[in-house]
Every structure is written in structure tokens, then in C-alpha cells.
Amino acid sequence: MAYRWKNDLTLADATPEAAFLNRRQIMAGMAGLGLASMASPGVASTELEPNTWDEVTNYCNFYEFGTGKGDPAANAHLMTTEPWSVTIDGMVDKPGEYDFQQILSNMTLEERIYRFRCVEAWSMVIPWNGFELADLLNMAGVQEGAKYVAFETLLRPSEMPGTAYRVIDWPYREGLRLDEAMHPLTIMATGIFGKPMPNQNGAPLRLVVPWKYGFKSIKSIVRITLTDQEPPTSWNMANAREYGFYSNVNPNVDHPRWSQASERRIGGGLFASREPTLMFNGYEAEVASLYEGMDLAKFF
């Protein structure tokens, strides 16, 4: 890639897992996260302190295992993640079923500390491990004319009690425009805190698109399809008025039922004040150009 993110965030006050990562090279998105500490390397702001392992792994959305925040932690152990393969098909030069371990051995793993903002107006800061989605797509060879990337989660009802309920039209599906998918901030995460991805967070590999609402970051991916049509996506199919295809974090475009101007940091305590939500979740400098000339209230 032309550029990568690197800075000297100090995580001394964070969890043991994060402190471990601090001894290694920490990669992070700059805007909203790193700029202050780039100016004065080594100075951590509280804002940058990652959430704890317990918070990240116990407060989850993974409806295949139930709709309660604790359901994924309670039920996701039922999911078999070995062996695992990802079918990459559609407009690619090398379509096929790629073994997860084989993918891993061909990718450069990095740590990225990103803000994570759910459409429900809560947020966390999560230290992910993974690789750039662009590297995977380049491995498969994106063909001329491809414009979108569609993703699909595993659907295995015998191991996914939540799929007995038609909360959404399974399998969970998501999609990105190709330029969003190729953006260097977009990663396929294979772990958190330097450890393999816990099942409830989307083992063994899930998408992370830090400037979009969390539901775009689809978990436990088994299929990636390159296409020239905007693909159907689960939440948009469930309620197009409330969930758009783009779903960029935007404090100026409210959800029909609640404001998106502020958010609640998980772990901040019941009485913590809400924090203002940042345009593109703090990654405006990196991604605003992708949407130049687009009406962000219309393409929400």
C-alpha cells in the first residue's frame, strides 16, 4: 500500500493486553486517534485508552447467537471455527475457496487501534489485529468493472441458536463500494489485544470499517463476492428507512428514532457524560474524499 499508519501511542494505563501490544509497533488510524499523540509522541489521551478485554468480549452484537448484549459471549462457543474457509468469487481472476490458515500465511498482520461506533450510539476503542482487506482482494485479483464487494457470514443453525428467529433474513450480509473496501483503513480483523478473535467478536475473521456504523463490520465471514451491482445488505433489507447502504458515522444525520450527535462510551459508567460523535467517527481526513459531491443525508 502507498501508506500505513504508525504512531507512538502509549497504553501504559490500559489493560495488560494493551500494555503488551505497546511494547510492539502499534498501528492506528490517525484522525481522531493519533494526531494529538503524533504531535507529542508518547503522550496518551484518555480518549485513546482502549476498552478492556472484558468489555469488548462481553458487550457484543452478534444476532446469530441472540439479540442480548451478553448472548454472543454465552453462546458463540457453539460455533466451530476450524477448519474455516472463505469463498472469494464473482469478478475476480482467481475465484475459489481459500483456507483461512493459508490466507493468514499470505497476509501482513498489523495492530490497529480504532474507534468503534455502533449505530445504537454506544462506542468503544478496540485494538484489532488483522490485515488490509485490499491485500486479500489483490490476492484474488479484482477484475475491471467490479464496483462493489459483498460479504456473507456463516449460517449454521445447529451452532447458532439466534438464527431460529427471523430477526433478519439470514445469512447476515454486508457490502462496501470497491473504493471503500480498498481503503487502507479497512481491515479484516483476525484478533483483538494480540489474541485470536474470540468467537463472539466474529472468529476467525471479520470486517472492520472504522468510519462506518458497527453493523457494517460483518463477523465470521465465509464469502466475499466482487460485483458491479450494489449488493443487498441485511439491515438495509430489514429497514431501509433506518439503515442505509453507506452508514457512515455522521453526527448531523440522525437515526429516525434517536440522535446520532453523541455517544456513550462503554465502560464510562452509568453516569458518565455522553461524548460528541465525530464526523466519519474521527477519520474524516482519511475518508471524506471518498464521498465528495454526495449528499450524505440522502446516501446515509
Give the DSSP H/E element, type plus range, for residue 188. Answer: strand 187-192
Residue 178, interface with ligand MTE (CB under 6 A)? no
Q: In this structure, which long-range contacts are made by residues 157-164, counting pairs with CB atoms below 8 Å and at least 24 apart in sequence? A: 159/78, 159/79, 159/80, 160/64, 160/65, 160/75, 160/78, 160/79, 161/65, 161/66, 161/75, 161/78, 162/62, 162/63, 162/64, 162/65, 162/66, 162/67, 162/71, 162/75, 163/64
- Residue ranges in 238-297 that form contacts with ligand MTE under rule CB under 6 A: none
Residue 54 φ then ψ, to 5°: -65, -40
Distance CA 280, CA 212 (A): 7
Q: Which helix (H) or strand (E) holds 77?
A: none
> Is 128 a residue that touches ligand MTE (CB under 6 A)?
no
Residue 26 binding ligand MTE, by CB under 6 A: no
What is the Cα–Cα distance from 197 to 84, expressed in whole angstroms? Answer: 13
Q: Which stretch binds ligand MTE (CB under 6 A): 59-67, 83-91, 98-106, 130-138?
A: 59-67
127 contributes a contact to ligand MTE by CB under 6 A: no
For residue 220, the minimal CB distance to ligand MTE (Å) is 6
The stretch near ligand MTE (CB under 6 A) out of 20-28, 89-97, 217-225, 240-248 is: 217-225
- 8 Å CB contact between 92 and 197: no
Pick the binder of ligand MTE from 27, 48, 60, 178 (CB under 6 A).
Answer: 60
Instruction: Based on the shown chain and the rule CB under 6 A, indicate whether residue 132 belongs to the binding site for ligand MTE.
Output: no
CB of 273 to ligand MTE, least distance (A): 22
Q: Which of 32, 66, 191, 214 binds ligand MTE (CB under 6 A)?
A: 214
Q: How far is the CB of 55 from ligand MTE (least distance, A)?
A: 9
Which one of 118, 134, 203, 224 is in contact with ligand MTE (CB under 6 A)?
118
61 binding ligand MTE? (CB under 6 A) = yes
Asked if 212 interacts with ligand MTE (CB under 6 A), we say no
Residue closer to ligand MTE by CB (options 8, 120) is: 120
Which DSSP string do the residues of 205-244 spell out, in sequence order? -EEE-TTB-GGGS--SEEEEEEESSPPP-HHHHH-TTT--
Q: Do 282 and 263 touch, CB atoms closer than 8 A?
A: no
- 215 is an interface residue for ligand MTE by CB under 6 A: yes
User: Given the rule CB under 6 A, which residues bind ligand MTE?
Assistant: 60-64, 118, 153, 172, 201-202, 214-215, 217-220
